[in-house]
């Protein structure tokens, strides 16, 4: 399947095919797409608002699970500022994650690039961080994530307002709105502690009831 995707010419066609076949692709196929598209075509990703993240969360001794943390730049800032115990970044783009881990060399920080986050036991984590990553997943994948994270007490999320658009450049799966994802999160058992709706994005902190 993956070779058929790559046979199509150009970035936009590959993104369209990736979106169309998203749920049918294996982890390895997704990872190959990310290696071919993201590692080589996209600029460094820096979307989170670290000041809000650091202000909203008590991170003392926290064990943090992040999904889609790119090269770990948020972890790097947070670990420099707060007495966090451990931070693990599950990242589908192996190249970005490996580069960041080598740069940081912090024993409290680890990357997971060989399987989806929902395949891991997440029961020991205090907070799940997803900054500008949930819009790159299908609804089915988010459901798997939220189920695997059912014992994580807190969730911190940032989402772009245009996440429902299917533009190739944005590489969003598309279709679902910010409101849809916030509903999925509350239906999964986290209630709103803090919500900031800005022009271009929404920032959300939830805690388990
Ligand atoms: C727009 S970037 C955001 C990066 C960073 N969190 C930030 O806020 O700057 C989206 C990231 O999510 C990653 N990603 C997308 N889907 C993923 C998945 N299912 N599991 C792990 N990482 C994923 C991408 O490789 C990319 O690093």
C-alpha radius of gyration, the chain, whole number = 16
Ligand 1 pocket, CB under 6 A: 34, 38, 45-48, 67-70, 90-93, 96, 131-133, 136-137, 141
Q: Is residue 142 part of a domain?
A: yes
Q: Is residue 22 part of a domain?
A: no
Q: Is residue 100 part of a domain?
A: yes
Q: Is residue 72 part of a domain?
A: yes
Number of domains into which the chain is organized: 1
Tens of pLDDT along the chain (209 residues) come to 565 555 555 778 888 889 999 999 999 999 998 888 776 777 778 898 999 999 999 999 999 999 999 999 999 999 999 999 999 999 999 999 999 999 999 999 999 999 999 999 999 999 999 999 999 999 999 999 999 999 999 999 999 999 999 887 778 999 999 999 999 999 999 999 999 999 999 999 999 98
pLDDT for 109 equals 98
Q: How far is the CA of 21 from the centre of ligand 1 (A)?
A: 18
pLDDT for 204 equals 98
Spell out the SS3 assignment of the chain. CHHHHHHCCHHHHHHHHHHHCHHHCCHHHHHHHHHHHHHHHCCCCCCCCHHHHHHHCCCCCCEEEEECCCCCHHHHHHHHHCCCCEEEEECCCHHHHHHHHHHHCCCCEEEECCCCHHHCCCCCCCEEEEECCHHHCCHHHHHHHHHHCCCCCEEEEEEECCCCCCCCCCCCCCCCCHHHHHHHHHHCCEEEEEEEECCCEEEEEEEEC
Measured CA to CA, the distance from residue 43 to residue 39 in angstroms comes to 9
pLDDT for 10 equals 77
Given ligand 1 and candidates 49, 92, 130, 162, which is best to mutate, with the most ligand atoms within 8 Å of its CB? Answer: 92
Q: Is residue 37 part of a domain?
A: no
Q: Is residue 134 part of a domain?
A: yes
- Asked if 68 and 158 touch (Cβ cutoff 8 Å), the reply is no
pLDDT for 7 equals 54
Q: Is residue 85 part of a domain?
A: yes
Q: Is residue 193 part of a domain?
A: yes
Q: By residue range, what is the domain housing residue 145?
A: 44-208
Angle at 147 between CA 144 and CA 152, to 5 degrees: 125
Q: For the domain that residue 133 is a member of, what is the CATH number?
A: 3.40.50.150
């Amino acid at each position: 399947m993956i070779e058929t995707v790559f046979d199509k010419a150009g970035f936009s066609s590959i993104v369209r095919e990736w979106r169309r076949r998203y749920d049918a692709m294996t982890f390895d196929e997704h990872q190959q797409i990310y290696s071919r598209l993201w590692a080589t075509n996209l600029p460094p990703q820096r979307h989170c608002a670290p000041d809000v993240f650091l202000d909203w969360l008590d991170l003392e001794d926290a064990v943090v699970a992040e999904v889609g943390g790119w090269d770990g730049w948020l972890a790097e800032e947070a670990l420099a500022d707060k007495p966090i115990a451990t931070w693990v970044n599950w990242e589908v783009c192996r190249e970005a994650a490996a580069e960041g881990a080598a740069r940081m060399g912090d024993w409290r920080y680890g990357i997971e690039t060989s399987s989806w986050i929902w395949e891991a036991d997440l029961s020991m984590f205090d907070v799940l961080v997803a900054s500008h990553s949930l819009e790159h997943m299908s609804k089915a994948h988010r459901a798997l994530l939220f189920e695997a994270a059912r014992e994580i007490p807190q969730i911190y999320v940032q989402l772009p307002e245009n996440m429902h658009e299917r533009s190739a450049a944005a590489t969003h799966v598309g279709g679902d709105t910010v409101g849809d994802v916030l509903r999925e999160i509350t239906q999964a058992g986290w209630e709103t502690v803090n919500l900031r709706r800005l022009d271009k994005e929404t920032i959300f902190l939830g805690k388990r009831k």
